[in-house]
Amino acid sequence: MLNSRGSSILLLRAVGIMINTRLGAWIIDELVAEGGTASLYRVHREDGTLTSVAVAKLLHANQAHQEAARAGMAREAAVLRQLDHPHIVLLLEEAEHEGRPYLILEAMEGDLGTRYLHNPLPAPEALEIAIQATQALKHAHDRGVIHGSLKPGHLLYRATTTGMSVKLTDFSQAWVFALGTPPPSDQPLPNPGFLAPEQIAGKPLSRRCDLFSLGATLYTLITGQSFASLVNGLGPDRYARVPPVRQLAPDLPEEIEAVLRECLAVDPAHRPADAGVLLRRLESVRRRLGWKASVALPPEDQPPLPLRSESSATEDLLSAEQRAAHAGGPLRRFFHHPLVLATLLLITLGLIVWGFLPPSADSLYERGAALMESEDPNDWRTAWDDYFSRLEERYPDHPYKEKVAIYRQRVEDLRMQDRAAVRAQQSRPPSEAQWFYIQGMRWRQLGEEARAQKCWHDLITAFEGSPSEHPWVQLARETMANPASQKLTDDQRWVAVRRALVHVRQLVKEGRQSEARKTVDALKDLYHNDPTAADLLRQADKELQP
């Protein structure tokens, strides 16, 4: 964004478009931004006594005869004509000026990248922006459109009386399934720092690519540090070396961090299955945290807000001809009849009352159980947070206790896995002395005290002269002096294995014999050199019998 009108004039002259130039009915006011193939201009038009303000995206003169550039502009217009959502920027007009295609787009106040880079966004506002952006992505994905280049600069905002409304823009790199082809290959590529790893590797776009880019965008807004800058130049493991978000934003709730971590998974299979699943997770997090919407969240069926001029006058984006086209007709007059309106009002009130009635125990169980049948672990979390927890709270004597207990264990195991993954990402590899100290502890837990003492004695002898290993040398001495306190009982040691056998039993009961066999084979591989595990391994073989 330019800081002065004088700078705007110089830049406008450089590209051959002057202030007050007409683009159809629109008049150019100033240059907003300069891109690789097109420029953005703030424009206005006069409709009687009303002034409408918008943005014109005009192809550069040197690109006007490039087929790929023209196709990209046409693609973006075609995409926007398919989309009609309060969190996606509105296409007002498509035309040409002296052979140069241009689009007239809804005007917003600015983009989130400019507003929040180096200025971290508070967690409640970040969550609401995430919800709005996910709603926009879900709308696009449901219509076969993948954005393909989401980043902070492609989320525009407008202040409202209730907070902020966010809109997704720039579909010039979108993949449209109905067209069956990717964006033109010679268009400038979006910033790779916000793209999913598989997208950079040249693999086909998927909906989960957009979810990764959304995660990278939210990381930037929450921490105030550009995700793209953090991953650039870090080598093949660049994503693994990005600091955990809570290292840069320690006050961020764990629930938001967990969702963000899933979106940024390098393996797309570990991300949410689609924008609908992600949206349910985000809304569930908002309910659990007890936060109210702090930015405007118009419903999906609400018509787009009218544009506002800088003088805040009431504006009308539709031309007189468009308003006339929508003014009448038999069907429209029918729905405006008082009796019809009264009937619709009664139906609406009935639906609202019905919607506030608490769901039955059967309904809560059936909805949760359906989600638990999914292969996506995110659906399991949603099942527990939205349905089973409410079932347990509202109907403590419900008849589904046994099955819900199994589901609870599955979700708890999943959350334990999430916590372990966070610890693994935040921890550094153990030093040599630390490694041997842990090995000694393992021998002690197995009851092999002599081996443990020998391991620690060797550790002390080998590393006593190394200052960096001094803490582990000292800890080994202290542990050797207290030999009896750390030994695990059999019940403590085998609790995880017994839980694995319960899982095997459940798989067999559900007819998933091959999965049960894989679990048992894995246990045998892990414990084949441990004679104390022989009884449990024999029990594992028995569990495979239907």
Q: Which residues contact 494 (CB under 8 A, 6 or more apart)?
A: 536
The pLDDT of 100-111, averaged and rounded, is 90
**Alpha carbon separation from 53 to 46, 57, 346 (Å, rounded):** 9, 14, 40
Examine the pLDDT at 303 and tell me if it is beyond 50: no
pLDDT for 353-376, tens place per residue?
Answer: 545 556 788 888 988 888 888 877
More confident residue, 511 or 276: 276
d(CA 194, CA 174): 15
Ramachandran assignment for 81, one of left (phi > 0), alpha (psi -120 to 50 degrees), beta (any other): alpha
Examine the pLDDT at 412 and tell me if it is beyond 50: yes
> What share of the chain in percent tops pLDDT 90?
23
Ramachandran assignment for 180, one of left (phi > 0), alpha (psi -120 to 50 degrees), beta (any other): left
Q: Which residues of 184-223 are buried (b: 16+ CB within 10 A; e: fewer)?
A: beebeebbebbbbbbbeeeeebbbbbbbbbbbbbbbbbbb
Residue found under tokens 């040398």: 473
Residue 104: what pLDDT? Answer: 94
Residue 420: what pLDDT? Answer: 60
Examine the pLDDT at 162 and tell me if it is beyond 60: yes
Examine the pLDDT at 495 and tell me if it is beyond 80: no
Q: Give the predicted TM-score (pTM) of the model.
A: 0.54
The pLDDT of 141-162, averaged and rounded, is 87
